[in-house]
């Protein structure tokens, strides 16, 4: 891979940097990155940030221009992700819609669906959640049991979804349902777009280990959606799911963010002293930092390789390797941050060194979302290495 950037690509990088410098909240680049504590105030803050991104043309650079994007090349997307990791901007209110739902609608939706849903994803006017996981199903999406019954001009939906991020705020759910159970389990799955604001949909927020409540259990009791809200064809939702999961596994790459967190950790070790000596001078800590630097650079190269393969149109199951590797490095890095924090690492909030405790707990979800680490290992073994499936002799 050629690691040099062209003059045009560097100009694109400068454009991003200048926009961030002009539009990020006051003090953000200098490190004042606190979001409002009040949930309603935080929601308003994120709405405003999403509006700025949209008006500046940075809300979805990977989307086609006709739908409000920039038709950005993969190299431009990579540069954008690098600059985004550098400044660590506020969360994007429409991240799920922009990164996951939008590409699925753009790839499989009708023109009417694209015109109806894509603009309001981009400007943050409508929020989305994704209905994948179900109780008692685990990571086997093909075993889902949430049923959608064909009633002619609509589907009637009954069942449950769990770990549904932002379902309590979402206007729409992009979900997968069982519409036929007479054949193989991968057949008979249908992708539906469902209005969350109806009598048959109930959310139950889940308190997470970080004390946040972004996840939900969602109950569908005779909820309905019209036939025009089928994405792709009836019973052919598995293809949609696999494409969307490949986007999710690439979007879950943490390599660029890991590099930023590693740099912050090195600064912490330079400034934190034990017994009058900076942590960075401890030979055991220096050795561990060198090990993490090596692993993170390997993660970056894996990410760059996947970008290169995607540019050539041949990225497949290899995306699982990047997702798996990043997750394991991140987990180890966060544990090390907690260990270096000493007794103070058990504290919460601003008193915890670098927020190590909360970050370590929050990182657990990254090893689950987009398919657990064990699922990624199965995909790599079966589809990349050609190993037999686990249920074979």
**Paired residues of 278 in beta bridges:** 273
Q: Catalytic: which of 92, 248, 259, 318?
A: 248
* Cα–Cα distance, 364 to 366 (Å, whole number): 5
Q: CA torsion sign, 325 to 331 to 337 to 340?
A: negative
- Strand 189-195 and strand 230-231: the pairing is antiparallel
Dihedral sign, Cα of residue 319, residue 109, residue 229, residue 206: positive
CA dist 74 and 82 (Å) reads 12
Helix 39-56 / helix 7-23 crossing angle, nearest 10 deg? 140
Q: How many angstroms from the chain centroid is the CA of residue 362?
A: 13
318 counts as catalytic? no
The angle at the Cα of 330, spanning 9 to 269, to the nearest 5 degrees, equals 90
Q: Which residues contact 27 (CB under 8 A, 6 or more apart)?
A: none
Q: Where are the beta strands (DSSP E) in 84-150?
A: 128-131, 147-150
Positions annotated as catalytic residues are 248
């Amino acid at each position: 891979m050629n690691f040099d950037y062209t003059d045009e690509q560097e100009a694109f990088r400068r454009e991003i940097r200048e926009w961030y410098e002009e539009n990020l909240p006051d003090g953000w680049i200098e490190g004042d990155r606190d979001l409002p504590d009040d949930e309603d105030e935080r929601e308003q803050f994120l709405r405003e940030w999403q509006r700025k991104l949209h008006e500046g043309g940075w809300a979805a650079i990977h989307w086609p221009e006709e739908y409000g994007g920039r038709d950005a090349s993969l190299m431009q997307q990579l540069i954008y992700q690098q600059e985004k990791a550098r400044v660590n901007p506020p969360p994007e209110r429409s991240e799920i819609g922009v990164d996951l739902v939008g590409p699925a609608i753009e790839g499989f939706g009708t023109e009417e669906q694209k015109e109806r849903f894509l603009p309001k994803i981009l400007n943050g006017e409508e929020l989305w959640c994704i209905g994948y996981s179900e109780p008692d199903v685990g990571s086997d999406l093909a075993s889902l049991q949430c049923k959608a019954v064909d009633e002619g001009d609509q589907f009637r939906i009954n069942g449950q979804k769990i770990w549904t991020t932002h379902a309590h705020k979402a206007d729409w759910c992009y979900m997968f349902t069982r519409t036929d159970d007479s054949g193989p389990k991968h057949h008979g799955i249908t992708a539906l777009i469902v209005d969350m604001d109806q009598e048959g949909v109930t959310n139950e927020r889940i308190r997470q280990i970080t004390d946040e409540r972004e996840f939900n259990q969602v109950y569908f009791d005779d909820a309905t959606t019209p036939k025009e809200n089928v994405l792709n064809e009836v019973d052919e939702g598995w293809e949609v799911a696999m494409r969307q999961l490949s986007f999710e596994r690439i979007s879950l790459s943490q390599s660029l963010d890991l590099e930023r967190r590693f740099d912050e950790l090195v600064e912490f070790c330079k400034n934190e002293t034990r017994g009058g000596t900076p942590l960075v001078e401890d030979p055991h800590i220096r050795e561990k930092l060198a090990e993490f630097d090596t692993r993170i650079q390997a993660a970056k190269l894996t990410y760059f390789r996947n970008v290169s393969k995607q540019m050539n149109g041949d990225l497949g199951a290899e995306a699982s390797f990047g997702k798996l590797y990043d997750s394991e490095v991140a987990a180890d890095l966060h544990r090390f941050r907690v260990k270096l924090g000493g007794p103070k690492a058990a504290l919460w909030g601003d008193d915890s060194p670098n927020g190590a405790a909360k970050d370590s707990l929050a990182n657990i979800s990254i090893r689950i979302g987009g398919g657990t680490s064990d699922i990624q290992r199965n995909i790599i073994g079966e589809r990349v290495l050609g190993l037999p499936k686990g249920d074979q002799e």
